[in-house]
Chains A and B, each alone.
Chain A
């Protein structure tokens, strides 16, 4: 029992990321407002970013910039730079793709006068 708790204590942050991710996924599936779906997408992406950056963390490590006093003999002295690079580009790309999503949402609102998915579907079926 004690070992199980220790195991959970070492991994507890993953449950947080999964919770955030599932909140975003739920928003994307269940919300009928298109703008709220976009927000759900953003929450989902945030969980992925947190997950990646946590993977790169090392105990007692500094930022991934060379410290002349420390040197590079021991790689454990620096955080893993790779997740930082991946998430750096992912953040900017997520902003740009959010712009595209907002442009599409704006066009839908102009054509249908609403952002509620069921109302748009009704209008498309009925007329």
Chain B
């Protein structure tokens, strides 16, 4: 089996290598991909969409359909993760919750229906494989979170003028939540962004994107033609397109953030969203 695989792979590699001479050389300004559409994007971006970052203009406007469906794919991936892991019942698992008495460090194990209210301040719920955490690591990680989130908002909002946009900012926002999960525990993340909120946020992001496109029809434009909002914003057509790109990027950021946090929570806790990394 391994030999057959090696043979197949080498054969495919040789076939690929045989085509290499057909590809343009590295950095060729006259290569086929750089000749036809790319100059139109580069020269049309500023006059048509008021967006100096060509990547954002192509992502949000010229290839709006593509990005919309990519966002939908991200959302669907999060939902599939949810249905694969979360919807299944846990069979024959006796649940034990562990509580640590903070002043003494004594740990209580309690069988499933019984719980200690989280409001009882001298007990804290801990994971089954809990080990004493380093205060420095935890404090520094939590200290970093607001800065990561502010930077993420900057990346989203400034995507028109500098490298950035909805996908990158959304990933940064998700990273801030995952950092909380890694330095504290999963229940802290759950209290900050519950599963329900996360999934609703993800759906809202896709709806914001598709809704922006759909609403353009009522303003007399085509689907995803943000130029139709010119009369609504009271601005010129290119400025309205720039505004539409920003709205769409916010939708993308919401979906990406919520989906990645959901996937992390489900995968790291084996679908229980109780105990995990």
Contact = CB atoms under 8 A, between A and B. Distances in A.
A14 B23 contact: yes
Contact of B42 (A30, A75, A84, A103): A75
Nearest to B52: A66
Nearest to B263: A99
A25 B167 CA distance: 28
Nearest to A13: B26
A83 interface: yes
Given A78-B54, A81-B42, A89-B70, A96 B34 contact: no
Interface in B21-51: 21, 23-29, 31, 33-34, 37-39, 41-43, 45-46
B199 to A, nearest CB: 14
Given A96-B73, A103-B80, A10 B26 contact: yes
A92 B23 contact: no
A85 B64 CA distance: 11
A119 B55 CA distance: 47
30 contacts: A7-B21, A10-B25, A11-B21, A11-B25, A11-B26, A14-B23, A19-B13, A21-B16, A22-B16, A26-B5, A26-B6, A29-B5, A29-B9, A30-B9, A57-B27, A60-B27, A64-B53, A75-B38, A75-B42, A81-B57, A85-B55, A91-B167, A96-B73, A96-B263, A97-B73, A99-B77, A100-B77, A103-B80, A104-B84, A110-B270
B1 interface: yes
B183 interface: no
B256 interface: yes
Among A13, A80, A95: residue with most chain B CB under 10 A: A80
Interface in A22-68: 22, 25-26, 29-30, 54-61, 63-66
A58 B34 contact: yes
Contacts of B141: none
B162 interface: yes
B273 interface: no
Contact of A92 (B54, B81, B167): B167
**Which 8 A-B residue pairings sit nearest by Cβ, starting from the closest?**
A99-B263, A96-B77, A10-B25, A66-B52, A59-B27, A75-B39, A30-B5, A81-B54
Contacts of B6: 26, 30
Contacts of B161: 65
Interface of B: 1-2, 5-6, 8-10, 12-13, 16-17, 20-21, 23-29, 31, 33-34, 37-39, 41-43, 45-46, 52-55, 57-59, 63, 66-67, 70, 73-74, 77-78, 80-81, 84-85, 88, 161-163, 165, 167-168, 170-171, 256, 259-260, 263-264, 266-267, 270-271
Given A10-B26, A58-B27, A92 B256 contact: yes
Nearest to B75: A96
Contacts of B163: 63, 65
B275 to A, nearest CB: 14
Nearest to B24: A55
A60 B28 CA distance: 10
A93 B13 contact: no
A60 B27 CA distance: 8
